[in-house]
């Protein structure tokens, strides 16, 4: 369970959130939707404890994440960042094993059993062939999968991802999201991710948070009354009403309004 | 060569050669190797911390600070050898502290602000060095300063070896112990935090160790260029090793390269030449080979 209470945050003189509060109970995949610059990445970094709020608190499973140690936090939350350092050079196996750093002795590296577990995860994700490749030679799709593997190895309760399907082609987006969904369903984990494409989010997520004008403009769950109608209304709102949104055959369709239409 | 073997075997081969071997050559060789190990390890730690393959041990101004310290000893303390070593060591550490404080003022991204403040510290140190050289007596002191700035092990002795060993050996042991943890320095800072690691503490530890190592080496030898930047590249070029192994291998490889350079500096001409002349040529050559090979790999 996630509870954000009276959260305020600003960069220097630029306010991002002012007194933001919401609760997420009983979700498995939550999508953060909104235009660029509305604070999705900021919220993600606040939740991960990478940024400190000016005011307010974020409770995850009852714990104030800004008051627990990095180590305790890393057992609750794992992170797939939006940008990946392209100069990073190490084997995929080494990279994945870093996910277990929070439970390794500080003077020892990955053990044989860690290597085997990493190999199993790669096998499950169907990317065993990458085990010994250098991470900086991977395509962006393969690299996201490597991140997913490391996150799985970290074994935290909640996976937080910033635009995980950004810059992937159509097939790879679906492959990534369905693999992710399979993993969280089978292992009782939760995901919070920011994502640009509302239609894609609609296909996989069960909870939706809409960000507009530096605040939360709506929060929806599939279980809500009149969910479909509210979904269309909220999506249209974050695009300033410049789009027509409808749901047909379980697909969310978005069309840009033409001037004379 | 025959003499060396018989000395090691304990046979008598004349007091003179025994004396030369134990008190001069052996002391000097061990000192050179320790300095090579220290500089190479320091270089790789800095390169990893800054995510920049072209960073060298003096990125944060260690060499500049150490030079100022040494020059002050040369100019104002009758070139007392012990004071020269103490001053240059302290100067190196102070310069890094200055860089760290300056980077706090600059703010922004930690690594970029550190690089910037290192460049600023280096510039300030350089200007001070030039001012001191201008003030120095050109017939006596200027030459001493210039030789110091080019690095040399010709003044190696047991006391120097002992002081350098007392700092370098413990620092290297800590580096070896933390080698797995230091790998996290390769990741960007946010990511490393979320893995449950105290990144700021590790960063500080890595920079402190790297600084101690370089300052200790520079304080006995003067400025020996290129070893710190170069050795990690040679190691990865030859061994294609992962982080932890590169860190370990940099130690013996750095020691060997500097020993070879010092031997060449000692024997190449009739009189001994400054070791940086050799290490700089080698540096330029190896970097060229490295980047050409790297380009070949990418194709």
B48-65 tens-digit pLDDT: 988 888 888 878 888 889
Asked if B276 and B224 touch (Cβ cutoff 8 Å), the reply is yes
pLDDT confidence bin for B12, thresholds 50/70/90? low
Length of chain B: 299
Confidence category of residue A87, pLDDT binned at 50, 70, 90: confident
Whether residue A61 lies inside any domain: the answer is: yes
> Which of A98, A143, A160 has the most B C-beta neighbours within 10 Å, making it the best mutation to test the interface with B?
A98
Mean pLDDT within A58-80: 93
Q: What is the mean pLDDT of residues A81-92?
A: 83
Query: What is the share, in percent, of chain B residues with pLDDT greater than 90?
Result: 40
Average pLDDT, chain B: 87
pLDDT at position A13 is: 80
DSSP A134: B
Indicate the burial class of B173 (C-beta count within 10 angstroms; 0-12, 13-18, 19 or more). exposed
Burial B187-225 (b: 16+ CB within 10 A, else e): bbbbbbbbbbbbbeebbebbbbbbbbbbbbbbbbbbbbb
CA distance A48 to chain B (A): 7
Q: Testing the interface with A: which of B107, B173, B175, B195 to mutate, by most A Cβ within 10 A?
A: B195
Looking at residue B158, its pLDDT comes to: 87
Instruction: Give me the residue label for tokens 């001409």.
Output: B269
pLDDT on residue A136: 87
Residues in chain A with CB shorter than 8 Å from the CB of B177 are 107
The answer to whether residue B11 scores a pLDDT higher than 70 is no
Q: What is the CATH number of the domain that holds A69?
A: 3.40.50.300
Instruction: End-to-end CA distance of chain A: give it in Å, rounded.
Output: 44
Asked whether the beta carbons of residue A102 and residue B195 sit closer than 8 angstroms, the reply is: yes
Tens of pLDDT along A12-54?
Answer: 888 889 999 999 988 999 999 999 888 899 999 999 999 999 9
Cβ of A94 and B181 within 8 Å? no
A104, A98 contact by CB (below 8 A)? no
B196 and A91 within 8 Å at the Cβ level: the answer is no
B194 with A90: Cβ contact below 8 A: no
Examine residue A12 and state whether it is found in any structural domain, yes or no.
Answer: yes
Q: What pLDDT, on a 0 to 100 scale, did the predictor assign at position A91?
A: 93
Domain-located, residue A143: no
Residue B195 to residue A77, Cβ atoms within 8 A: no
What is the domain partition of chain B in residue ranges? Answer: 27-298
DSSP 8-state symbol, A254: E
Q: Is the pLDDT of residue A6 over 80?
A: yes
Confidence at A214, pLDDT banded by 50, 70, 90: confident
User: Quick check: ipTM above 0.95?
Assistant: no
What pLDDT is attached to residue A260? 56
The answer to whether A136 faces chain B, any CB pair under 8 Å, is: no
Q: Does pLDDT of B178 surpass 60?
A: yes
Average pLDDT of the residues in B239-253: 94
Q: A72 in a domain, yes or no?
A: yes
Question: Can you give the pLDDT at residue B290?
Answer: 81
Asked if pLDDT for residue B232 goes beyond 90, the answer is: yes
Interface test with A, best of B194, B200, B235, B241 (most A CBs within 10 A): B194
- The model's pLDDT over B103-145, given as tens digits with 9 standing for 90+, comes to 888 877 777 888 888 899 999 999 999 999 898 888 888 888 8
**Do residues B211 and A104 lie in contact, with contact meaning Cβ atoms separated by under 8 Å?**
no
Q: With an 8 Å Cβ cutoff, are B194 and A50 in contact?
A: yes
Residue of A nearest to B198 (CA): A70
Domain annotation covers residue A178: yes
Could you give the number of structural domains in chain A? 1
Which residues from chain B sit within 8 angstroms of residue A72, using beta carbons?
196
CATH class, B27-298 region: mainly alpha
Distance between CA atoms of residues A202 and A190, nearest Å:
16
Q: What is the pLDDT of residues A145-159, one digit of tens each?
A: 999 999 999 999 999
- pLDDT tens profile A176-213: 999 999 999 999 999 999 999 999 999 999 999 999 98
> Where is mean pLDDT largest: B4-8, B71-75, B174-178?
B174-178
Mean pLDDT calculated for residue range B272-298:
84
User: Is A94 contained in some domain?
Assistant: no
Find which of A107, A143, A156, A160 to mutate to test the B interface (most B CBs within 10 Å of its CB).
A107
Kindly determine whether residue B51 and residue A85, on different chains, have CB atoms separated by under 8 Å. yes
> Mean per-residue pLDDT for A1-19?
90
- pLDDT at position B195 over 80: yes
- Which tokens go with B51? 């995510």
- Quick check: A78 contacting B, CB < 8 Å? yes
Residue range(s) defining the domain that contains residue A209: 2-84+155-256
Min distance A133 CA to chain B CA atoms (Å): 12
Size of interface A-B (CB pairs under 8 A): 71
CB contact, 8 Å: A53 with chain B?
no
Mean pLDDT score across all residues of chain A: 91
Q: Is A250 left (phi over 0), alpha (psi -120 to 50) or beta?
A: left
State whether A90 and B183 contact (CB < 8 Å).
yes
Which pLDDT belongs to residue B24?
79
């Amino acid at each position: 369970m996630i509870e954000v209470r009276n959260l305020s945050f600003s960069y220097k003189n630029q306010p991002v959130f002012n007194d933001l509060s919401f609760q997420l109970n009983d979700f498995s995949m939550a999508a953060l939707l909104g235009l660029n610059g509305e604070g999705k990445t900021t919220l993600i970094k606040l939740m991960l404890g990478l940024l400190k709020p000016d005011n307010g608190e974020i409770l995850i499973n009852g714990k104030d994440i800004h008051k627990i140690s990095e180590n305790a936090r890393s057992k609750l939350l794992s992170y797939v960042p939006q940008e990946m350092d392209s100069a990073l050079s190490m084997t995929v196996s080494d990279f994945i094993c870093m996910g277990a750093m929070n439970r390794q002795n500080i003077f020892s590296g990955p053990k044989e059993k860690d290597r085997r577990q990493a190999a199993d995860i790669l096998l499950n994700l169907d990317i065993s062939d990458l085990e010994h490749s250098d991470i900086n030679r991977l395509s962006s799709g393969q690299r996201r999968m490597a991140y997913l593997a490391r996150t799985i190895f970290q074994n935290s309760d909640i996976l937080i991802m910033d635009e995980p399907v950004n810059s992937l082609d159509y097939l790879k987006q679906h492959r990534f999201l369905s693999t992710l969904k399979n993993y969280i369903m089978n292992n009782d984990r939760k995901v919070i991710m920011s994502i640009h494409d509302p239609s894609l989010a609609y296909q996989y997520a069960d909870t939706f948070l809409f960000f507009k004008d530096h605040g939360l403009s709506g929060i929806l769950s599939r279980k809500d009354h009149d969910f479909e109608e509210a979904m269309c209304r909220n999506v249209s709102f974050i695009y300033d009403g410049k789009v027509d949104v409808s749901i047909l055959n379980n697909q969310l369709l978005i069309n840009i309004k033409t001037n004379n239409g | 060569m025959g003499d060396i073997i018989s000395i090691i075997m304990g046979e008598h081969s004349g007091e003179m050669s025994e004396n030369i071997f134990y008190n001069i050559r052996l002391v000097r060789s061990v000192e050179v190797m320790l300095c090579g190990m220290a500089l190479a390890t320091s270089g790789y730690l800095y390169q990893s911390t800054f995510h920049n393959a072209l960073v060298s041990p003096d990125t944060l101004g260690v060499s500049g600070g150490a030079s100022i310290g040494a020059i002050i000893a040369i100019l104002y303390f009758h070139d007392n050898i012990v004071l020269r070593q103490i001053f240059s060591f302290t100067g190196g550490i102070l310069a890094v502290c200055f860089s760290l404080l300056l980077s706090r003022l600059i703010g922004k991204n930690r690594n970029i602000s550190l690089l910037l403040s290192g460049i600023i510290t280096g510039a300030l140190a350089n200007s001070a060095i030039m001012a001191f050289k201008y003030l120095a007596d050109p017939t006596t002191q200027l030459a001493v300063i210039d030789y110091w700035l080019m690095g040399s092990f010709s003044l190696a002795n047991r006391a120097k070896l002992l002081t350098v060993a007392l700092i370098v050996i413990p620092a290297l042991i800590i580096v070896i112990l933390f080698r797995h943890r230091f790998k996290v320095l390769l990741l960007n800072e946010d990511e490393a935090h979320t893995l449950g690691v105290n990144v700021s503490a590790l960063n500080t530890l890595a920079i402190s160790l790297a600084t101690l190592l370089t300052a200790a080496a520079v304080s006995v030898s003067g400025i020996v260029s290129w070893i710190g930047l170069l050795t990690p590249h040679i190691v990865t070029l030859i061994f294609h090793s992962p982080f932890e192994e590169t860190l370990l291998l940099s130690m013996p490889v750095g020691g060997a390269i500097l020993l070879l350079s010092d031997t060449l500096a000692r024997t190449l001409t009739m009189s001994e030449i400054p070791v940086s002349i050799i290490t700089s040529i080698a540096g330029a050559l190896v970097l060229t080979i490295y980047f050409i090979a790297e380009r070949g790999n990418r194709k």
